[in-house]
């Protein structure tokens, strides 16, 4: 029977709950808002399936031949709504065109992040843009299996640990399943996300979308944005917006993120997608500040999908070694912020406003820096500086 003695050894992938033949494992939230399996011991028959399926327990990394691409969706509207170059939309469309279904992370009406599936191209917009909050996978692994059993094409997208969980749960490869994972920095707590929504409570009721990675100032400097009818009501970058600051200072990630077993080059997915801020290092013509996705194919199936999207994207094949070189987020876990425990303790007692004003106050210095940054952005100097910095960091 699965027992989580150490929180860092569970990534919350739901594989154990999905495989249980007695349906006696429930994913329950802890005080930090992350879900963990809880076994109903009266119903458990000790079959051991839950322990065997856990992807954290059975780590292996098989190498394979990889091919790599830079991708930009041709329709600018789609590209600008996406975090990077909109490759995910193009990949998903190929599956829908075959009558398939696409799973991904979307908001519900209260901006809670959950995994759902869509069957129409118009609905793909709900998946666009990264949500820096751990999504509730619900019963999606079982739904995927059911669709596959009925011979449907399925595309499943998510964080690398979610894909490892799905792969382990399915236990075999399916020709009609396209697995897409993102390179993931780390995944913040839904509880802290709700504290942020409370902090922003005057704005949230007015908006119909929240973009963690809005391109209001272009791709090189994305902002947290609140959107209503396509109009931008609020935007603040990673030096000012408290949720982005919490995300980038690694104060509220899932415990397993600090020793992430899914950070590696060779993955169980068919393709891995992530950002390419240094596109000028590959092709100067592609550097238009609207976003580029790096696509690393691990399987022939992934490669086939790239062939199928070529009419709707600008696509350039590049060296796989060069694509992954210097990509820290692919290989290294984030370091735990030393204030993490205090942050979560305070979060139990404080309002969202009190919490974020204590840990991420918007000081006069930040305000001045924001004005300077905006000026640099508008004049184009920011882009040049970022290029030099990225080069120095080898990215
Ligand atoms: C939590 C998180 C951390 C990331 N960290 C990095 C990073 O450090 N470096 C980097 O280069 N790229 C990172 N990415 C990936 C990057 O932000 C883009 O998602 C990726 O480049 C694809 O962009 P796109 O324009 O092709 O697709 P988009 O249209 O932006 O598609 C978004 C995709 O991400 C999935 N997704 C969104 N939110 C979640 C979520 N909460 N949980 C699971 N899946 C989700 C959707 O299902 C969809 O498949 C991260 C993504 C996420 C979700």
Strand bridging mode 177-182 / 271-275: parallel
Tell me the pLDDT band of 188, cut-offs 50, 70 and 90.
very high
The strand order across the sheet containing 177-182 reads 113-118, 101-107, 154-158, 177-182, 271-275, 293-297, 67-73, 313-318
Looking at residues 77-87, what average pLDDT do you find?
97
Measured distance between the N- and C-terminal CA atoms of the chain, rounded to whole angstroms: 44
Ligand 1 atom closest to the CA of 105, numbered from 1: 47
* pLDDT value, residue 274: 98
Encode burial over 310-342: b for 16+ CB neighbours within 10 A, e otherwise. Answer: eebbbbbebebeebbeebebbeebbebbeebee
Looking at residues 106-115, what average pLDDT do you find?
98
Say whether pLDDT at 266 is over 80: yes
Question: To which residue do tokens 């992934």 refer?
Answer: 302
Say whether pLDDT at 34 is over 80: yes
* pLDDT value, residue 391: 67
Say whether pLDDT at 340 is over 70: yes
Tell me the pLDDT band of 5, cut-offs 50, 70 and 90.
confident
* pLDDT value, residue 81: 96
Looking at residues 316-321, what average pLDDT do you find?
98
Q: 46 C-alpha vs ligand 1 centroid, how far in Å?
A: 37
Q: Determine the Cα–Cα distance for residues 26 and 14; give it in Å rounded to an integer.
A: 9
Ligand 1 atom closest to the CA of 329, numbered from 1: 8
Contacts of 389 (CB under 8 A, 6+ apart): none
| More confident of the two residues 375 and 89 | 89
Whether 278 and 387 have beta carbons less than 8 Å apart is answered as yes
Say whether pLDDT at 394 is over 60: no
Beta bridge partners of 115: 105
Tell me the pLDDT band of 310, cut-offs 50, 70 and 90.
very high
Say whether pLDDT at 292 is over 80: yes
Say whether pLDDT at 102 is over 60: yes
- Ligand 1 neighbours, Cβ below 6 Å, are 82-89, 104-105, 113, 127-133, 135, 157-159, 182-185, 187, 273-275, 293, 329
What average pLDDT does the structure give for the chain?
Answer: 94
Looking at residues 186-197, what average pLDDT do you find?
98
Q: 168 C-alpha vs ligand 1 centroid, how far in Å?
A: 22
Ligand 1 atom closest to the CA of 87, numbered from 1: 26
Mean pLDDT check: name the lowest of 236-240, 253-257, 363-367.
363-367
Strand bridging mode 313-318 / 67-73: antiparallel
Whether 203 and 233 have beta carbons less than 8 Å apart is answered as yes
Domain with CATH 3.30.70.20 in the chain: 7-53
Looking at residues 277-297, what average pLDDT do you find?
95
Ligand 1 atom closest to the CA of 131, numbered from 1: 38
CATH of 7-53, one of 3.30.70.20, 3.30.2010.10, 3.40.50.620, 3.30.565.10: 3.30.70.20
Q: Quick one: which H or E segment has residue 248?
A: helix 242-248
Tell me the pLDDT band of 60, cut-offs 50, 70 and 90.
confident
Q: 275 C-alpha vs ligand 1 centroid, how far in Å?
A: 8
Q: How long, in residues, is the chain?
A: 395
- SS3 state at 30: coil
Query: Percentage of the chain surpassing pLDDT 70?
Result: 98
Q: Taking the CA atoms of 69, 75, 80 and 86 in sequence, report the sign of the dihedral they define.
A: negative
* pLDDT value, residue 6: 86
* pLDDT value, residue 392: 67
Say whether pLDDT at 78 is over 90: yes
Q: 365 C-alpha vs ligand 1 centroid, how far in Å?
A: 31
Beta bridge partners of 232: 227
Instruction: Return the structure tokens found at 128.
Output: 């666009």
Looking at residues 325-349, what average pLDDT do you find?
97
Mean pLDDT check: name the lowest of 4-8, 130-134, 358-362.
4-8
Looking at residues 173-197, what average pLDDT do you find?
98
Mutate to test the pocket of ligand 1, among 71, 130, 393 (most ligand atoms within 8 A of CB): 130
């Amino acid at each position: 029977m699965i027992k989580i003695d150490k929180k860092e050894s569970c990534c919350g992938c739901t594989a154990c709950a999905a495989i249980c033949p007695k349906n006696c494992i429930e994913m329950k939230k802890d005080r930090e808002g992350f879900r963990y399996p809880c076994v109903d011991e009266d119903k458990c028959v000790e079959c051991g399936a839950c322990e065997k399926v856990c992807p954290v327990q059975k780590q292996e990394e098989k190498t394979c031949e990889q091919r790599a691409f830079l991708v930009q969706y041709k329709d600018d509207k789609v590209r600008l709504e996406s975090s990077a170059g909109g490759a995910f939309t193009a990949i998903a469309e190929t599956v829908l065109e075959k009558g398939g279904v696409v799973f991904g992370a979307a908001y519900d009406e209260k901006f809670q992040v959950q995994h759902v599936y869509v069957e129409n191209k118009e609905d793909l917009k709900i998946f666009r843009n990264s949500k820096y909050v751990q999504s509730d996978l619900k019963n999606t692994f079982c739904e995927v299996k059911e669709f596959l059993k009925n011979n449907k094409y399925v595309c499943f997208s998510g964080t690398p640990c979610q894909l490892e969980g799905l792969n382990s749960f399915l236990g075999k490869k399916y020709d009609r399943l396209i697995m897409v994972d993102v390179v993931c920095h780390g995944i913040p707590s839904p509880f802290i996300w709700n504290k942020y929504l409370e902090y922003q409570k005057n704005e949230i009721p007015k908006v119909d979308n929240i973009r963690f990675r809005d391109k209001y100032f272009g791709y090189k400097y994305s902002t947290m944005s609140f959107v209503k009818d396509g109009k931008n009501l609020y935007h603040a970058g990673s030096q000012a917006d408290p949720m982005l600051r919490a995300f980038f200072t690694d104060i509220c990630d899932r415990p397993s993120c600090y020793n992430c077993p899914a950070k590696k080059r060779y993955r169980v997915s068919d393709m891995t997608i992530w950002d390419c801020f240094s596109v000028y290092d590959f092709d100067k013509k592609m550097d238009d500040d609207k976003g580029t996705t790096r696509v690393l194919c691990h399987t022939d199936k992934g490669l086939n999908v790239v062939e199928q999207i070529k009419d709707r994207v600008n696509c350039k094949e590049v060296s796989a070694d060069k694509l992954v070189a210097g990509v820290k987020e692919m290989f290294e876990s984030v370091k735990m912020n030393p204030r993490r425990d205090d942050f979560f303790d305070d979060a139990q007692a404080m309002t969202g406003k009190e919490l974020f004003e204590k840990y991420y106050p918007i000081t006069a210095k930040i305000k001045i820096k924001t004005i300077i940054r905006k000026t640099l952005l508008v004049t184009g100097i920011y882009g040049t500086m970022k290029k030099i910095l990225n080069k120095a960091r080898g990215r």
